[in-house]
Amino acid sequence: MSTDLRTLIAEANRAIERAGLVTLSFGNASGVDREAGILLIKPSGIPCASIEPQDLVAVALDDGRVVEGSHRPSTDTPTHRLLYREFPEIGGIVHSHSSFASSWAQAGREIPALGTTHADYFRGPVLVSRPLELAEIEGEYEWETGRVIAETVRTHGRTPEDSPAVLVASHGPFAWGPSPAAAVEVAVALEAIAALASQALMLNPTRKPIAPQLLSRHFDRKHGRAAYYGQEGFVAEGRPR
Amino acid sequence: MSTDLRTLIAEANRAIERAGLVTLSFGNASGVDREAGILLIKPSGIPCASIEPQDLVAVALDDGRVVEGSHRPSTDTPTHRLLYREFPEIGGIVHSHSSFASSWAQAGREIPALGTTHADYFRGPVLVSRPLELAEIEGEYEWETGRVIAETVRTHGRTPEDSPAVLVASHGPFAWGPSPAAAVEVAVALEAIAALASQALMLNPTRKPIAPQLLSRHFDRKHGRAAYYGQEGFVAEGRPR
Amino acid sequence: MSTDLRTLIAEANRAIERAGLVTLSFGNASGVDREAGILLIKPSGIPCASIEPQDLVAVALDDGRVVEGSHRPSTDTPTHRLLYREFPEIGGIVHSHSSFASSWAQAGREIPALGTTHADYFRGPVLVSRPLELAEIEGEYEWETGRVIAETVRTHGRTPEDSPAVLVASHGPFAWGPSPAAAVEVAVALEAIAALASQALMLNPTRKPIAPQLLSRHFDRKHGRAAYYGQEGFVAEGRPR
Amino acid sequence: MSTDLRTLIAEANRAIERAGLVTLSFGNASGVDREAGILLIKPSGIPCASIEPQDLVAVALDDGRVVEGSHRPSTDTPTHRLLYREFPEIGGIVHSHSSFASSWAQAGREIPALGTTHADYFRGPVLVSRPLELAEIEGEYEWETGRVIAETVRTHGRTPEDSPAVLVASHGPFAWGPSPAAAVEVAVALEAIAALASQALMLNPTRKPIAPQLLSRHFDRKHGRAAYYGQEGFVAEGRPR
C-alpha cells in the first residue's frame, strides 16, 4: 500500500469535515488500491477531522477481512467494498449525512436537474434508491445497501461517471470518483446542488428540469474528450504583450 | 467531587457552544456524582464558552440547596435535578435552545423518524411534551418542567436510553446520556435530526416514518449488547500484510 | 464624553458583526451620554468590524449637529436621535438588516410569541411598524422612521422595556436597551427568535402563541424586581462541603 | 497592465470566496483595463481562495485571444468580455453560484423589491434572463450568455447602474460595478437580498413590492449626485467640544 494513497485518503476524510458535510462521526471516505486488491477506510466512530494516514484500516476487496490496522473499520465498509467491486472505474468513495442531500434522501425524492451547477456533475437527476426490503435490512444490511446503490445506477441506464452519487432512501448520499479527492468534490457539489434545488422548488414548486441540451453542454464542458473546463492540456494561444 | 468530573462538565458546556447549539446564554450542561448525591451545573447567565471547572455550582440532589460555588446555579437547575432523580441511569444532561430542535418544540410537533441519522439515536419519534398546565407554570415552574419531561418518556412507553431527549413544548430540547459528553453528543445529533426532518418534510410533506426494522437496525448497531459501531471491544481479525 | 462609553459603543459595533448580524455596512450601534446631551454612533459606510473608539461620531441630541468626529455619521443617525429623545430610559441602540428579523420586516408581519426564547425578551409579539406614508418617505425620512417606531410601541400599549425592538416594515429591526451591550443582546436574541418562529410556522402554520402566563413567567424571571435569572444580587445559600 | 489592477482583481477573487459566495470553483471575478483593451480574469478551475495577481489571465477585449498568462482563462470569459463591450461604464464583474441568488435563477423568478436592502442596490426587481435558445446553447454558449444578460437589462428599460446584476435563468448571478471591488459588493448584497426575499415570501406569499418612492429614496441616498451615504465629500459641520 503506497504511502501516497494513505495520505490522500486521510486528507479526504479531513476534507469532508472541513467542508461541513459531517456531523459527529456520520461520514467516511475511502480509496482503493486495485493492484493490491484492498480498500483503505476510516475507522468506525472516530471523528473525520483527526484522521491520520496510520489510522486507516485496510480491508480486502475479495472477502472483506481486515488486512492491516488496529481499529475496527467503518460500519459502512461493506457498502464501499461492494461499490469498488461493481464500479471498476472508481478510485474513491465518500459517504456523509450532509444536511440538504440527506434531506432529499429522507424525502425519498430524486433531485431534478434545475440548473447548471447540477449539470456540471450529473447528466440527469441525482438518483434516489428504492427502499431496502426487510430481508435486506435484516440480512447483510451494509452490503445490501451497496447492492441497491449499484442497482439504482444501472436500472436508470446511468453510469458511475454520469451519476457519481446516489441518495440511499431514508439514509443519505454515497458519492464517488476516479480518486478520493474527486469523490470529495462530488460530495461537496452534491450538497450545494441539493440546497439549490430545495430553495428553487420553494420559490417555484412546478419548475421543470433544464433542457437536455443545456444539461449536456455543462456536463460535457467538464467531462470527456471535448472538455474545456480546468487546466488540463491547456496551451495558451495568445502571446505575452 | 472529583476533579475529573468537574473538568468533563465544564468541557461539555464549552462543547455545546462550539457546536453552535447556544445563542447568548440559552444553554447549559450538567453532570451528576451519584455517590456524593450532588449535581454540578453551569452558573446562571454566564456564557458557556468561558466555563471553567471552578465556575460550576454544586447542588444537592435531595433538596436542591447549593453546596458549593459562589455563583447562582442555572435557573434550569430544578429541571436537571428532577431528571437525575427520575432517571437513575443517566450521568449528564444538556439543555439548549438550538435552532431546529427548538423550532419543532415551538411547533408542538414530535419529530418523526424519517431516516437513519434519527435511528442512530432514537428508537421512535423524538417526543414532544404536552403544554404545561397553568398551575405548573405558576408553581415550581422549572421543577414541573422536569416532571413533564419524565412523564412524556413514560407515557409513550419509552425509556431514557431509547428516547435520550425530549422537546419541551414551546421551549426547547433537554438531552441526556450516561455521561456529560454523551448528552452533548445527543444534543448535537438531535439538532441535525431536526434540521433533516424539517427539510425533508418541505420536500415531501406526507413522507411516512421509516420501517421499524430499519429503525431497530440502526439503533441496535450503536446501542446495547449487539452493537458493532465504534471501537469498543474490537479485535482486528486480519493481519498485517 | 467618557472614554469608557466610547469603548463600549465601539465594542458594540464590532459585536454585531461578530454575531453575524451585519452584511457589508448594513448595521450600526450607538450609545448616549444623557448628561452631555450627545449620542455617539458609527460613521456611515464603514464596516462594523473595524470600528475603534476614535472613529465614532458625536451628535447633539437636541439639534442633530455633529459635535465631534471627522467622519459623516451613519445615515440612520436621525432615527437613533429620535429614539433617545422619545425613550429616556434607554442607553444604547442597534440597527441591523439581520437575515431572519429583516425577512419578517419585509413580510410586514409581527413575530408571534411562540416560545420561551421569545418570552425571555418580549412581553408579547415583536411589533412591526405600519408602512411609512409617502410624505414621511420624501420628507425627513430617517427621522420619520424613528417616529414610526416610537408610535408603534405606544399604539400597542407596550413600553421600551417590554418591547425592546421593533421591525420597521420593509426595512429591518431596531433594538435597544439600557446600554449598548444590552441593545446588542436584544438584537442577537431577536435574530434567533425570528429564525425559530419562521421554522416553527413552516412546521405548524396555525400554531398559536404561548399562554400569557408562560410569557410572563419567562419575561419576569429575567426582568424587574422578581428576576431570578443571572447573577445579580445572588448570595449562595448553601455552604462548601 | 498596471500592477494595481492585477492586485485588485486577485483580491476580488479571494473576497468572493471569503464572503461565502463560492463553492468549489464555481465563481470568478474580473476587471478591465479600457485603455489597454484587455480584461484580466481568474484561470479556469482554480480555487478563488488562492488567486494571486500573477495567476490572472489577460484576454483581449476585441477578439478574445489570451495575451498574457500561462493558464487557460475561466470558461465564463466570453460572458465577461461581452459585458465589458456592451456596458462601457463598468470596470469589474463577479460571477458566482451563490446559494440564494442561484436558487432564484434556478426557479426562473425575478426577485421582487421587498425591502430597503434591495433598494440600496437595485432600482426595481433583480431581473432574470429568458432561457437560452437551443441555438444559443449549442453555439457560442458563454458569449450568448453575455448577450442574453445585456438584452435582459435593455428590454426592461434598465441600465447597468440601476440593475447591477442579472440572474441567468437556470444558472446563477452575474454582478458588476465600476470596479472589481464594487462588483464584489453587489454580489454580496445580492446574496443577502435573495435570502431575505425567499424568507419573506415564505412568511407572506402575496407580499407586494415596496412603494416606488421608498425604492428611490434608498437607491438615491447611495447613488448619484444627491447621495448622502458613506463618506465621500463629507465635511463635518459640527465642531469639537
Question: How far is the alpha carbon of C239 from chain B, nearest alpha carbon, in Å?
Answer: 5
Catalytic hit among A33, A55, A120, A220: A120
Cβ of D201 within 8 Å of Cβ of C107? The answer is yes
pLDDT of C236 over the 70 cut: no
Cβ of A106 within 8 Å of Cβ of B234? The answer is no
Cβ of D75 within 8 Å of Cβ of A221? The answer is yes
**Which residues contact residue C110 at a Cβ distance below 8 angstroms, ignoring those fewer than 6 apart?**
C104, C125, C126, C127, C128, C167
Query: What distances in angstroms separate CA A30 from CA A73, A91, B26, C8, one per listed residue?
Result: 11, 9, 39, 51
Question: How far is the alpha carbon of C100 from chain D, nearest alpha carbon, in Å?
Answer: 7
**pLDDT tens digits, residue range A39-95?**
999 999 899 999 999 999 999 999 999 999 999 999 999 999 999 999 999 999 999
Residue A97 forms contact with B (CB below 8 Å): yes
Catalytic hit among D4, D62, D120, D162: D120
pLDDT value of residue D233: 55
pLDDT of C224 over the 80 cut: no
Cβ of C203 within 8 Å of Cβ of B138? The answer is no
**pLDDT tens digits, residue range A159-205?**
999 999 999 999 999 999 999 999 999 999 999 999 999 999 999 99
Could you tell me the pLDDT band of residue C229, with boundaries at 50, 70 and 90?
A: confident
**Total count of domains within chain A:** 1
For residues C112 and C209, the answer to whether their CB atoms sit within 8 Å is yes
**What are the φ and ψ backbone dihedral angles of A15, each rounded to 5 degrees?**
-65, -35
pLDDT value of residue D227: 83
Could you tell me the pLDDT band of residue C228, with boundaries at 50, 70 and 90?
A: confident
Compare CB distances from D67 to A199, A207, A238 and report the shortest one's residue: A238
- Span D66-88, mean pLDDT? 97
**pLDDT tens digits, residue range D116-128?**
999 999 999 999 9
Query: What distances in angstroms separate CA C5 from CA B123, C2, C81, C232, one per listed residue?
Result: 54, 6, 17, 22
The parent domain of residue D130 ranges over 3-240
A230 vs A37, more confident:
A37
- Span D96-110, mean pLDDT? 98
Residue matched to cell numbers 495558451 = A236
Residue C49 forms contact with D (CB below 8 Å): no
Query: How far is the C-alpha of D183 from the C-alpha of D87, rounded, in Å?
Result: 13
Compare CB distances from C107 to D192, D200, D210 and report the shortest one's residue: D200
pLDDT value of residue D238: 42
Residues of C annotated as catalytic are 120, 229
Give the three-state DSSP class for A173: strand
ipTM: 0.93
**Residues of chain C with C-beta less than 8 angstroms from the C-beta of D207:** 106-108
**pLDDT tens digits, residue range C59-91?**
999 999 999 999 999 999 999 999 999 999 999
In chain B, which residues have pLDDT < 50? 235-241
Residue B47 forms contact with C (CB below 8 Å): no
**pLDDT tens digits, residue range A101-155?**
999 999 999 999 999 999 999 999 999 999 999 999 999 999 999 999 999 999 9
Identify from B6, B25, B81, B170 which residue to disrupt to test chain C contact, counting C C-beta atoms within 10 A and taking the largest count.
B170
**Number of inter-chain CB pairs under 8 A, B vs C:** 118
Could you tell me the pLDDT band of residue A237, with boundaries at 50, 70 and 90?
A: very low
pLDDT value of residue D34: 97
pLDDT of A234 over the 60 cut: no
pLDDT value of residue B237: 42
pLDDT value of residue C69: 92
pLDDT value of residue D224: 77
Cβ of C217 within 8 Å of Cβ of B107? The answer is no
Chains adjacent to A (≥3 CB pairs closer than 8 angstroms): B, D
pLDDT of A25 over the 80 cut: yes
Catalytic hit among B33, B120, B162, B220: B120
Compare CB distances from A202 to B195, B196, B202 and report the shortest one's residue: B202
Longest Cα pair distance anywhere in chain A, in angstroms? Answer: 69
Name the closest residue on chain D to residue A207, using Cα atoms. Answer: D107
For residues C166 and C173, the answer to whether their CB atoms sit within 8 Å is yes
Question: How far is the alpha carbon of A63 from chain D, nearest alpha carbon, in Å?
Answer: 36
What CATH number is attached to the domain comprising A96? 3.40.225.10
pLDDT value of residue D89: 97
Cβ of A198 within 8 Å of Cβ of B196? The answer is no
Round to the nearest angstrom and report the end-to-end CA distance of chain D: 49
Query: How far is the C-alpha of A141 from the C-alpha of C67, rounded, in Å?
Result: 74
Residue D240 forms contact with C (CB below 8 Å): yes
**Which residues contact residue B101 at a Cβ distance below 8 angstroms, ignoring those fewer than 6 apart?**
B126, B165, B167, B172, B173, B190, B191, B193, B194
Q: Is the dihedral of CA A196, A200, A202, A203 positive or negative?
A: positive
pLDDT value of residue B229: 79
Query: How far is the C-alpha of D219 from the C-alpha of A43, rounded, in Å?
Result: 56
**pLDDT tens digits, residue range C120-158?**
999 999 999 999 999 999 999 999 999 999 999 999 999
pLDDT of C238 over the 50 cut: no
Give the three-state DSSP class for A98: coil
